[in-house]
Amino acid sequence: MQEIIERENIREQKFKETWNGVLGDAFTDLSSYYDAANNVASLGMWNKWRKDFTSGIALRPGMRVLDVCAGTNAVSIQLLKKQPELRITTIDRSQAMQEVGEERIRRLGFDVESVISDVHKLPFPDNTFDIVILEAASRHLRLVEVFSEILRVLKPGGSFYHCDMLKPSSKLLEQAYLAYLKASMFATGRIFRSKGNVRSCADYFIEAIREFYTPEELSLLMRYVGFVDVTDRSIFGGIVAFHEGTHAAVNSELEQTQPGSVIARP
């Protein structure tokens, strides 16, 4: 567990300037072509992975769902296509990404509540949501803090679903993967004529994965925060992984010793 605290501290020290600075501007610049660029960079695979990821989520009418770092609402749209009677709240600090997302939701005749806020403190009462989702944003976050918040806002028995590009367990695979990412980011930058803010994050996007967690480590982190019944499924040796964890009613003791509080924050 000490390892996780150390890694979180290293990630924060290395990236806090980017997280608090240019990254927000980069997502503003990316908002109009984020989905298209994502598709090109992943050779169309990301949409397929998202379908796989969301197909494993059990949905019932009237469920309250929180889409954390919702961006352009791609996950929420996928869920609403499966179950149109969900009550979805999206949260993201980027107004620009959410504006694109809201337009997509409106065009499809769906409805979500959009909240513009940083996700390290979730502006919702305890025990609010049946399901919380987080896709493709964890690399930009202080994870112990955000996962602790997610656990707090989940109802007892509620589930957290996580999907992201992670760090593969094999060093060789990691090197090949990061080399591919670098090349694909360069290519999408040219195709979509990325602006300076996006270009200046190119090295960060690679480094953030180098310092990130393998699927096994992420499961450990989820358990450390207090999730139970944690499962993970890796694709391509951990390049992408799906995680699920539950908020157990019996977890109140664990929650009182929340690990988020032991990490010193500036």
Ligand X SMILES: C[S@@+](CC[C@H](N)C(=O)[O-])C[C@H]1O[C@@H](n2cnc3c(N)ncnc32)[C@H](O)[C@@H]1O
Task: Point out which residues bind ligand X (CB under 6 A).
Answer: 27, 69-72, 74-75, 92-94, 97, 118-120, 135-137, 140-141
Give min distance, CB of 234 to ligand X, in A: 18
By beta-carbon proximity to ligand X, the closer residue of 140 and 243 is 140
By beta-carbon proximity to ligand X, the closer residue of 195 and 223 is 195
By beta-carbon proximity to ligand X, the closer residue of 47 and 83 is 47
Give min distance, CB of 24 to ligand X, in A: 7
Count other C-beta atoms under 10 Å from residue 113's C-beta. 10
By beta-carbon proximity to ligand X, the closer residue of 55 and 257 is 55
Give min distance, CB of 250 to ligand X, in A: 30
CA distance 262 to 258: 8
By beta-carbon proximity to ligand X, the closer residue of 69 and 222 is 69
- The answer to whether residues 126 and 152 touch, using CB atoms and an 8 Å cutoff, is yes
CA distance 69 to 12: 18
DSSP type of residue 262: G
Beta strands 64-68; 129-135: pairing state = parallel
- The answer to whether residues 1 and 224 touch, using CB atoms and an 8 Å cutoff, is yes
By beta-carbon proximity to ligand X, the closer residue of 71 and 238 is 71
Give min distance, CB of 253 to ligand X, in A: 29
Give the nearest residue (CB) to ligand X: 71
By beta-carbon proximity to ligand X, the closer residue of 70 and 230 is 70
Give min distance, CB of 265 to ligand X, in A: 14
Give min distance, CB of 119 to ligand X, in A: 4
Give min distance, CB of 197 to ligand X, in A: 12
